[in-house]
Each structure stands twice: as structure tokens, then as C-alpha cells.
């Protein structure tokens, strides 16, 4: 059998998604997520204009060869656009292979290594009271781990904080349909560094020590600020501090490690194993944060996580709403199968998205399971997808109080 049809679907049920669908000469279909938040059309064009014609006529079973063909063939390599495109092809081919085998994908990856996949929710609030209310809501839903983000006095809207009011919120979508250019937010690290340790102290005081607490620094601290912050929050026993400083400056994490034992997670903006090479071989991180969608797919992600396992580093796969249900399903199959699983991020998609993507993964008491349908277990309703037209959306740009552009 061979690859016969390659389709790219762009849909926007509340936010933009790019989905690749491959159909074989025997009519078997596979899906891949190619969503790159704020740059969706770049990946869609890369797939439609440059990759699709390379795939038609190829043997769909030759997944590794196709991956190498798409990675080395174009000469230019790595980067978020290329690796999201390769990821979508890879996911779709694994989906097809598992459907042909009549088994859920995790069975082809070695079978289940656990009963379920522990997930963490996003609890946020403009102040501690709103954050506390959100944490309580997620605990009541059965979550055993929450990421906590809160407003900072003196600053307006900042990353990660839903200002839609207290309680369980699944509707924080950072990409804004802001017209020709991104919305702008203002940031001050000094306010943040002095405010946050008290928030963690209040959380531990109110919720005790069992709850796993995660926090995302979102690239905004300098290495020495990250070292200070990681040291200041050590007493609050975080499950991880994420993106404490821009991770592409890999050796900067040596400074953070010298000052703190707070576990570190990095990598959601990375797209290849080479972005992690120093971080992993020097054990400068504890969790690999990449999404299957942004790192070249299941083939590449399995290799990356097996490499990390040698150094005692675990998975913490990225799972915000800008990873589609297809990308989330791919993550869950890997999460269930690998030995060095850490935790899975889970921001549930909205109802409209779940009308477009029919999923089979299930949530129970803080754990997800990918389900046992053959393949990834997700199908795309193309008619429903067509009802939601693409609308340009940008992630915000961050500036310091003096107007200097900063990491968002
Ligand atoms: C965040 C993401 O989930 C996270 O850890 O860093 O929500 C990130 O802001 C978005 O994926 C950007 O599109
Ligand atoms: Mg993050």
C-alpha cells in the first residue's frame, strides 16, 4: 500500500488548529497535529507546498525512513515550523500503522507501563483568593497536581493568569485575535520575585504538602534571578519550576543548579534533541517539556525521552489548548508506554473543539488514559471543521516597565 492523499485542514473552534490527514491507497486514514500557536499558516504552507508531493506514492509503513527523508531531505533542518510539519506526518503514519495492526498506538510503543497518566491542571487567579478558589475546584475534580499562576501587584494582565473570574477555568487562551499585530503586556521581574514565594507559602499553609504544585516562570528571569527564585521557593517543595530562564542558553542552568534543588522543567519551545544535549547530559533539568507536535512527532519524541531516561530525567509533555486533541492523544500513548514518565499537562479543550475532533481518551480522578481504539483514537469531523474559519491570532508581546521588549 502507499500514501495516496495528503490533506491539510485549518480550523478555528475558538482557537486555530492545523491538522494533517494522510489517506492510503487502501483507504486507511491517519491524523497528525501541526499546530504552532500564532504561526499556524507557516506550517500549513510548509506541508501543502513542500511536503505533500514528497509523500504521495511512498510506502506508509516506512515511518523512520520518511522521518529521515523529511528531516535531511530539505537540507535546511530543525526549527519550529519544519519540526511541527514533520511531527504531523509522523503522527499520521503511526496512527495508520496502529490502525492496520488493530491496536492502540501505545501497544506498538511497548505496551502500558502504568494504569493511567497523572495530569496537572492550570489553576490561576488575579490574586491569592481567586487562585485558592481555582485550586479547590480542581482538587474537587480529582486533580492531584496543579500549576499555579497568579497576578503580580502593580502589573496588569500577565502570562498564565485567567482574568475571567475565580474558579475552575478552562478558558485561558493566550493567543489573541488582535488584528495586524500582537497585544502587549507589561512585566517586572523584581515585583514577581518578591511576590511569588509568599503565594507558595499560602498554598502550602492552606492545602498542605500532598498536593503537587507546579509553576511556570515562562522564560522571564535572568539566570541569576532564576537561581535566586529557585532557592527562595525550595521550602515549598514544588513538583517543578518550569522555564525559569530561557533554556536555549543551556549552560545558564548550571548557575540555577548550583543554588537550588527545586526540580526544573524546560523545553516546550524546543524542537529537537540538540536543544537539550547539555541540559540532559549534565542533568541540568529534571523534566523534558516538549510537545510531540513541536519536536518531530512520536519517532523523535521517543528517542528524546529514551535519551533523557539514561540520565534519570523524566517526561513532562506539553499539553496546553494550543496542542490539538490529536497532539494530546499522541502524548498520552507515549506517556502510557515509556518507563520514565513524569507528568502530563492537560488543559481540556472547549466543546466546539471536541465537536471537530472526536476523541477517545478519558479522565478519571486526576489521571488520563488514551483509550484502546486502534491508532491514536481521534477522528476529525471535516464538516464541523469547515464551520470554523481561520482567524489570525498572535501570542502577546511582553515589555518591561521601561518599554524594553522582554520574554513573554
Ligand atoms: C505554557 C503554554 O502550558 C504551558 O506551560 O507555557 O501555555 C504556552 O504559553 C503556550 O503553549 C504558548 O502557545
Ligand atoms: Mg510553559
Which CATH number goes with the domain that contains 89? 3.30.390.10
* Radius of gyration of the CA atoms of the chain, in A: 20
Atom of ligand 1 nearest to the CA of 323: 11
* Ligand lying nearest the CA atom of residue 319: 1
- State the distance from the centre of ligand 2 to the C-alpha of 268, rounded, in angstroms: 6
Residue 126 shares a structural domain with residue 60: no
In the prediction, which pLDDT does 248 show?
Answer: 95
Q: For residue 169, what pLDDT band results from cuts at 50, 70 and 90? A: confident
d(CA 152, CA 278): 33
**Mean pLDDT in residue range 254-260:** 98
Q: Are residues 364 and 244 in the same domain?
A: yes
Decide if pLDDT at 121 tops 90.
yes
Answer whether residue 59 is part of any domain: yes
The Cα–Cα gap between 62 and 265 comes to 33
Averaged pLDDT of the chain: 97
288 in the same domain as 316: yes
Q: Are residues 44 and 16 in the same domain?
A: yes
> Which of 104, 120, 143 is where one domain is finished?
104
Q: Which ligand is nearest to the CA of 159?
A: 1
pLDDT of residue 167 exceeding 80, the answer is no
Determine the Cα–Cα distance for residues 1 and 33; give it in Å rounded to an integer. Answer: 23
Return the C-alpha torsion angle 386, 43, 303, 327, nearest 10. -20
Q: Are residues 100 and 121 in the same domain?
A: no
Do both 147 and 64 map to the same domain?
no
Same domain, 283 and 143: yes
Q: Which range of residues forms the domain containing residue 214?
A: 108-373
Distance 287 CA to ligand 1 centre (A): 16
Nearest CA to ligand 1 atom 10: 320
Q: Are 154 and 67 found together in one domain?
A: no
Burial class (CB in 10 A: 0-12, 13-18, 19+), 258: exposed
pLDDT number for residue 218: 98
Domain membership of residue 389 (yes or no) is: no
Check residue 199 and give its pLDDT: 98
Q: What integer pLDDT is reported at residue 136 of this predicted model?
A: 96
- Write down which residue in 104, 121, 154 finishes a domain: 104
Confidence category of residue 318, pLDDT binned at 50, 70, 90: very high
Judged by average pLDDT, the poorest of 175-184, 224-233, 389-398 is 175-184
| Cα(300)–Cα(268) distance, integer angstroms | 14
Total domains, the chain: 2
345 CB within 6 A, ligand 1: yes
Q: What is the pLDDT of residues 74-87, one digit of tens each?
A: 999 999 999 999 99
Average pLDDT in the 337-346 region?
A: 98
275 lines ligand 1 (CB under 6 A): no
Judge if 210 and 331 occupy the same domain. yes
pTM over 0.95: yes
User: Does residue 175 sit in the same domain as residue 244?
Assistant: yes
> Measuring from atom 3 of ligand 1, which residue has the nearest CA?
320
Domain co-membership, 65 together with 204 = no
- The reply to whether 386 falls in a domain is no
280 shares its domain with 202: yes
Q: How far apart are CA 83 and CA 79, in angstroms?
A: 6
Q: What is the pLDDT of residue 158?
A: 93
79 within a domain of the structure (yes/no): yes
Amino acid at each position: 500500500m502507499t500514501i495516496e492523499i495528503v490533506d491539510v485542514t485549518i480550523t478555528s473552534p475558538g482557537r486555530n488548529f492545523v491538522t494533517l490527514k494522510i489517506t492510503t491507497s487502501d483507504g486507511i486514514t491517519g491524523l497528525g497535529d501541526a499546530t504552532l500557536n500564532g504561526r499556524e499558516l507557516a506550517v500549513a504552507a510548509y506541508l501543502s507546498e513542500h511536503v505533500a508531493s514528497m509523500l504521495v506514492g511512498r510506502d506508509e509503513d516506512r515511518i523512520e525512513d520518511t522521518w529521515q527523508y523529511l528531516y535531511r531531505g530539505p537540507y535546511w533542518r530543525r526549527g519550529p515550523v519544519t519540526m511541527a510539519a514533520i511531527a504531523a506526518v509522523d503522527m499520521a503514519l503511526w496512527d495508520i500503522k496502529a490502525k492496520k495492526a488493530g491496536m492502540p498506538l501505545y501497544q506498538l510503543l511497548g505496551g502500558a507501563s502504568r494504569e493511567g497518566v497523572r495530569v496537572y491542571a492550570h489553576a490561576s487567579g488575579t490574586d491569592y483568593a481567586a487562585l485558592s478558589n481555582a485550586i479547590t475546584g480542581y482538587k474537587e475534580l480529582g486533580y492531584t497536581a496543579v500549576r499555579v499562576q497568579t497576578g503580580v501587584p502593580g502589573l496588569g494582565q500577565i502570562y498564565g493568569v485567567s482574568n475571567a473570574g475565580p474558579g475552575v477555568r478552562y478558558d485561558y487562551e493566550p493567543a489573541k485575535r488582535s488584528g495586524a499585530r500582537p497585544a502587549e503586556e507589561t512585566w517586572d521581574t523584581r515585583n514577581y520575585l518578591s511576590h511569588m514565594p509568599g503565594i507558595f507559602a499560602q498554598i502550602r499553609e492552606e492545602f498542605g504538602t500532598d498536593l503537587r504544585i507546579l509553576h511556570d516562570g515562562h522564560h522571564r528571569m535572568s539566570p541569576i534571578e532564576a537561581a535566586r527564585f529557585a532557592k527562595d521557593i525550595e521550602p515549598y517543595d514544588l513538583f517543578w519550576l518550569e522555564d525559569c530562564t530561557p533554556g536555549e542558553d543551556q549552560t545558564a542552568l548550571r548557575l540555577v543548579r548550583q543554588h537550588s534543588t527545586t526540580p526544573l522543567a524546560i523545553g516546550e519551545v524546543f524542537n529537537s534533541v540538540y536543544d537539550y544535549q547539555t541540559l540532559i547530559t549534565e542533568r541540568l533539568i529534571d523534566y523534558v517539556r516538549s510537545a510531540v507536535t513541536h519536536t518531530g512527532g512520536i519517532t523523535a519524541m521517543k528517542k528524546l525521552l529514551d535519551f533523557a531516561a539514561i540520565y534519570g530525567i523524566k517526561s513532562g509533555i506539553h499539553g496546553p489548548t494550543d496542542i490539538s486533541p490529536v497532539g494530546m492523544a499522541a502524548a498520552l500513548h507515549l506517556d502510557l508506554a515509556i518507563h520514565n514518565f513524569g507528568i502530563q499537562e492537560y488543559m481540556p479543550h472547549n466543546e466546539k473543539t471536541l465537536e471537530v475532533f472526536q476523541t477517545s481518551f478519558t479522565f478519571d480522578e486526576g489521571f488520563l488514559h488514551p483509550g484502546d481504539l486502534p491508532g491514536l483514537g481521534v477522528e476529525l469531523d471535516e464538516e464541523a471543521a469547515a464551520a470554523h474559519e481561520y482567524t489570525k491570532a498572535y501570542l502577546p508581546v511582553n515589555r518591561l516597565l521601561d518599554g524594553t521588549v522582554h520574554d513573554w
